Amino acid sequence: MSSRARLSSIFAATASSTASSPSPRSAPIDALAAATERARAGTLRPADAHHLFDQLLRQPTSVPERALNGFLAALAQARPSSACSDSPALAVALFNRRSRNSAGPRVLPTTVHTYAILMDCCCRARRPDLAFAFFGRFLRTGLAISAILFNSLLKGLCDAKRTDESLDVLLCRMPELGCVPNVISYSVLLKSFCSEKKSQRAVELLQIMAKEGGVCSPNVVSYNTVIDGLFKECEVAKACDLFHEMVQQGISPDVMTYSSIIRALGKARAMDKAEMFFRQMVDKGVQPDIFIYTNLIHGYATLGQWKEAVRVFNLMVDDGIVPDHHIFNILIHAYDARGMMGDADAMLIFHEMKQQGVKSDVVTYLNVIAAFCRMGRLDDAMDIFTQMIDQGLPPNQAVYHCLIKGFCTHGGLVKVKELLSEMISKARRIKEAKYLFDSISANKLVPSIVTYSLMITNFINEGLLEEADDIFSAMEKAGCAPNSRLLNHATRLLLEKGEIIRAANYLAKIDKKNFSLEASTTEMLISLFSRKEAWQEHIKLFPAKYQFLVGASYS
């Protein structure tokens, strides 16, 4: 049964029992409820939604405002999916149908929340101009205006980087229309100013909020937004002053406040001040979270204050907070920066992660691999690299760069060739080998004909023919001429796979360079054309000098 049929069946089932049902309005409610769930799940198609509205507009009873608003809100917040690529636009289109239909206002009554949702849809679609249009339509409805509607408009303008217009709406238009802004109204602009790196204007707006008082009085979220913005603009002194002002206003800092302060002071390498704020929050009964501890550990580790980093780590564990991979990465990197990765303690950290069930990420493995490569411990580096792949983590270019640099520094390109051979022939890690090979050129190194041959022949073996062609082209562009051994080997491999056209191309290269066919290549050609008559018609693709093979196959 199609999804449209399912929606229709809700109406049909209820309509058939209307006489006995005490709630005739349940049909549209049930239909909207089903559509709302599908919108949230990303499975509601526009055609189904329009079909639903066809039936809603024919209903004799009105739909509860809350049900309609819930449906439109679900569309407003729905992410693009295979069923519907633009749900906010669909919500606007459906509402416009309601407005054009004579029965629309009666069947689908609206509230201020309805228009706020629709304005949000327009803003999500990056069309604040349409949000203004809906605002104008709302004013003509005669419904009581509220800050909820204005907040949607303010958010849309700010999202469109039209913060100055938003400020005009906040300070002028809202009072003109008799609507008092609330703390959320101001907070929208505070966040926008800070994101645009205009934190000083946010400070000024914060002062206006404090002066207005009442529902506009700034709260801890308001102060946190501006304090964080000032820190991000490196206005450390102003941020600290604002923190003290907040405390003087009787607003207690929360964990987010301290997190912003400690993170910023750590980046500024002012760990003495960061430690002071940390102790202050603990004294005031604010429980540090993992982000607070991470920033402290990172700050101390960056300064090389290893003992302090370990002290904070132990405090965190004592608080019952389980360290995540970010914290372990910081510790491993700190060991490496001090040249201590060879110490037993350093590797204990790496193994401790596994014992605690903390999954390493690419950064973890990169830190360990890079350290071993710098120390010339290439076998250890490769062991870690192998563990990384076994864990299902795809290495990035930085990992390959470290390996190539390490092997070239301590083992030369011969060692790189051995590594590639092992990855392809033994471990069957073709994709990883390709990335590793690409890193050779990225490190301004020139692969040898042996390295090129290894990659080309193994790619052909694996059926990755386009990749083999790409590497062959790259080899020629790099000025590395193919030798007879490579061309003959590639020809034989392609013939074995029945790739006659590609084999003919390699034979043409052999002919062009005046190389001789190896005996094994000649024998394979004769054997194949004698056993497979269907292939004989392809002999014309070969250079003329090899077309004697059809006759030789019958002699």
Q: What angle do CA 288, 323, 224 make, to 5 degrees?
A: 30
Residues 208, 174: one domain? no
Q: Using DSSP, state whether 252 is helix, strand or coil.
A: coil
Tell which of 217, 251, 268 closes a domain: 268
| Pair 201, 113 in one domain | no
- In Å, what is the CA distance from 29 to each residue of 32, 66, 70, 113, 453? 5, 10, 11, 18, 69
170, 249: one domain: no
Q: Is residue 443 in some structural domain? A: no
Q: What is the pLDDT of residue 1?
A: 44
More confident residue, 503 or 29: 503
With b meaning 16 or more CB within 10 Å and e meaning fewer, what string describes 51-77?
bbbebbbebeebbeeebbbbbbbbbbb
Residue 168 and residue 258 in one domain: no
pLDDT value of residue 12: 46
* Max mean pLDDT range (27-36, 63-72, 181-190): 181-190
Flag whether 10 is in a domain.
no
Assign 555 a pLDDT band (cuts: 50, 70, 90).
very low
Instruction: Note whether 166 and 90 are same-domain residues.
Output: yes
Residue 135 in domain: yes
Q: Phi first, then psi: give them for residue 265, nearest 5 degrees.
A: -65, -35
- Tabulate helix, strand, coil % of the chain (nearest 5): 75, 0, 25
The lowest-confidence range among 75-89, 95-109, 229-243 is 95-109
For residue 99, what pLDDT is reported? 82
> Taking CA 176 as the corner, what is the angle to CA 172 and CA 182, rounded to the nearest 5 degrees?
70
- For residue 516, what pLDDT band results from cuts at 50, 70 and 90? confident
Q: In Å, how far from its chain's centre is CA 57? A: 41
Question: What pLDDT does residue 108 have?
Answer: 85
> Among 531, 488, 513, which Cα is nearest to 549's?
531
Q: In this structure, is residue 506 part of a structural domain? A: yes
Q: Are residues 177 and 71 in the same domain?
A: yes
Over range 217-235, report the average pLDDT: 94
Q: Which of 181, 196, 227 is the last residue of a domain?
A: 181
pLDDT tens digit string along 86-116? 998 899 899 888 888 877 788 888 889 998 9
HEC string for 401-454: HHHHHHHHHHCHHHHHHHHHHHHHHHCCCHHHHHHHHHHHHHCCCCCCHHHHHH
Q: Does position 18 have pLDDT exceeding 90, yes or no?
A: no
pLDDT tens, position by position, 431-488: 667 766 776 666 666 677 877 887 788 788 778 888 888 888 888 887 888 899 999 9
Q: 23 vs 376, which has greater pLDDT?
A: 376
Task: Say if CB 36 and CB 75 are below 8 A apart.
Answer: no
Let me know whether 128 and 202 are in one domain: no
Please tell me whether residues 136 and 186 are part of one structural domain: no
Q: Could you tell me if 519 and 484 lie in one domain?
A: yes
Q: Provide the residue range defining the domain that includes 87.
A: 66-97+109-181
Helices 26-41 and 65-77: crossing angle, nearest 10°?
Answer: 10
144 close to 136: Cβ distance less than 8 angstroms: no
Q: What is the mean pLDDT of the chain?
A: 82
Q: What pLDDT, on a 0 to 100 scale, did the predictor assign at position 445?
A: 63
Q: Is the pTM of this model over 0.75?
A: no
CATH of the domain at 192: 1.25.40.10
Q: Average pLDDT for residues 262-272, to the nearest whole number?
A: 92
Structural domain contains residue 234: yes
What one-character-per-residue DSSP string does 119-135 give?
HHHHHHTT-HHHHHHHH
- Of residues 411 and 482, more confidence is placed in 482
* Within a domain: 368: no
Residue 71 lies in a domain: yes
Residue that is last in its domain, among 214, 243, 268: 268
Same domain, 113 and 192: no
Is 410 domain-assigned? no
Number of separate domains in the chain = 3
Residues in the chain: 555
CA distance 316 to 52: 55
Q: Are residues 513 and 542 in the same domain?
A: yes
Q: What is the 3-state secondary structure (H, E, C) of 442-458?
A: HCCCCCCHHHHHHHHHH
Domain check: are 186 and 176 in the same one?
no
Residue 286 to residues 263, 289, 425, 524, Cα–Cα distance (Å): 16, 9, 57, 79
In the structure, what pLDDT confidence band is assigned to residue 501 with cuts at 50, 70 and 90?
confident
